[in-house]
């Protein structure tokens, strides 16, 4: 499908709520073996809620991008595509 026809399915506002192109793929539980910031961490992983680290993998079909490391705001459901964004639509 062409991007021009994909745009009509992107909701108005700053969030991806209801966007048919935003997909949750899976959640990866982090521990000492797969965590980038585990050096210097003395906590035992997954013994309490505050040391239970995880990364959600999100895909946006419109941008053809998969966020594997929560580098973008897609994991929070905030639009990265800029289509029908709140700054442009609600002035």
How do residues 19-67 score in pLDDT, each as one tens digit? 999 999 999 999 888 888 788 888 888 888 888 889 999 999 999 999 9
pLDDT at 83: 92
Record the pTM: 0.79
What's the CA gap between 72 and 91, in Å, rounded?
Answer: 25
What's the CA gap between 28 and 25, in Å, rounded?
Answer: 10
**Closest residue by Cα to residue 52 from 77, 27, 31, 66:** 31
pLDDT at 49: 82
pLDDT at 12: 92
pLDDT at 87: 56
Provide the pLDDT confidence category of residue 91 given band limits of 50, 70 and 90. very low
**Closest residue by Cα to residue 70 from 85, 80, 61, 82:** 80
pLDDT at 89: 47
């Amino acid at each position: 499908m062409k991007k021009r026809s994909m745009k009509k399915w992107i909701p108005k506002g700053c969030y991806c709520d209801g966007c048919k192109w935003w997909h949750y793929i899976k959640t990866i539980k982090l521990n000492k073996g797969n965590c980038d910031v585990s050096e210097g961490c003395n906590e035992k992983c997954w013994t309490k809620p505050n040391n239970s680290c995880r990364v959600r993998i999100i895909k946006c079909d419109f941008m053809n991008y998969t966020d594997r490391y929560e580098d973008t705001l897609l994991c929070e459901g905030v639009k990265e595509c800029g289509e029908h964004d709140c700054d442009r639509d609600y002035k």
